[in-house]
């Protein structure tokens, strides 16, 4: 008898965060009103795969409008299920590289504003139940934030310190894929 081979889910990139400058006081709102019912409107539910099984892990890529070497800070939040509290997965910083975003990965539409992939992502605080990591960082390609969701269903990527100032990125967007 031959066992069925385990296969990895192949998923396209999906929009995690629409292009926007830094979030306004999201952390304060989440800290004081952070139960499941008060998730930010931009929170994303990770799709289920193969019936009722949830995706196990995700990777996140980030893009920003402006020029190379512009910076931003980020914080990734998660909610386990209904009535679960807001929890921080990790936070850190990022730097835009030199690789252009030619087409939006979720729609395939051509990018019209000068937008670059973040080539550097750093994790400052990794406080989740599973360790998150960064792949392919610091080389003018596309850095990836990668982690196991440990059964958490919803995520939200908060962007801070990205207001199009002299050294800060402008509009920042993010995309995720799951496996």
147 — pLDDT class (breaks 50, 70, 90): very high
Does residue 170 fall inside a structural domain?
yes
Give mean pLDDT, residues 135-160: 92
Instruction: Give pLDDT tens digits for 23-49.
Output: 765 655 665 666 666 778 888 998 876
Smallest CA-to-CA distance from 14 within 89, 79, 100, 107 is with 107
pLDDT (average), residues 53-66: 86
As a three-state string, the secondary structure of 57-85 is EEEEEEEEECCCCCEEEEEEEEECCCCCE
Q: Is the pLDDT of residue 52 over 70?
A: no
pLDDT given for residue 3 in this prediction: 53
42 occurs within a structural domain: yes
The pLDDT of residue 54: 62
User: Residue 150 belongs to what domain range?
Assistant: 14-178
pLDDT of residue 11: 86
Instruction: Using pLDDT thresholds of 50, 70 and 90, give the confidence band for residue 97.
Output: very high
Asked whether residue 56 is domain-assigned, the answer is yes
Answer whether residue 166 shows pLDDT above 80. Answer: no
Q: Is 164 left (phi over 0), alpha (psi -120 to 50) or beta?
A: left
In a domain, 168, yes or no: yes
- Domain annotation covers residue 9: no
Domain count of the chain?
1
Q: What is the mean pLDDT of the chain?
A: 86
* Residue 40 maps to a domain: yes
Neighbours of 143 (CB within 10 A): 24
* pLDDT at 1 > cutoff 60: no
Q: Is residue 45 part of a domain?
A: yes
Identify how many contiguous H helices and E strands the chain contains and give both numbers.
1, 12
Neighbour tally for 66: CB within 10 Å: 22
33 within a domain of the structure (yes/no): yes
Res. 22 pLDDT band, cuts 50 70 90: confident
pLDDT, position 70:
94
């Amino acid at each position: 008898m031959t066992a069925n081979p385990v296969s990895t889910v192949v998923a396209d990139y999906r929009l995690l965060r629409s292009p926007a400058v830094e979030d306004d006081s999201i952390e304060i709102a989440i800290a004081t009103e952070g139960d499941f019912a008060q998730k930010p409107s931009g929170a994303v539910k990770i799709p289920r795969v193969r019936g009722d099984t949830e995706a196990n892990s995700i990777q996140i890529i980030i893009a920003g409008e402006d020029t190379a070497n512009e910076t931003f800070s980020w914080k990734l939040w998660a909610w386990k299920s209904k009535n679960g509290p807001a929890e921080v997965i990790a936070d850190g910083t990022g730097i835009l590289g030199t690789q252009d975003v030619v087409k939006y990965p979720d729609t395939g539409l051509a990018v019209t504003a000068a937008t670059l992939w973040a080539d550097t992502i750093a994790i400052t605080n990794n406080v989740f139940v599973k360790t998150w990591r960064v792949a392919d960082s610091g080389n003018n390609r596309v850095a990836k934030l990668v982690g196991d969701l440990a059964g958490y269903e919803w995520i939200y990527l908060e962007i801070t310190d990205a207001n199009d100032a002299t050294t800060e990125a402008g509009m920042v967007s993010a995309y995720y894929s799951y496996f």
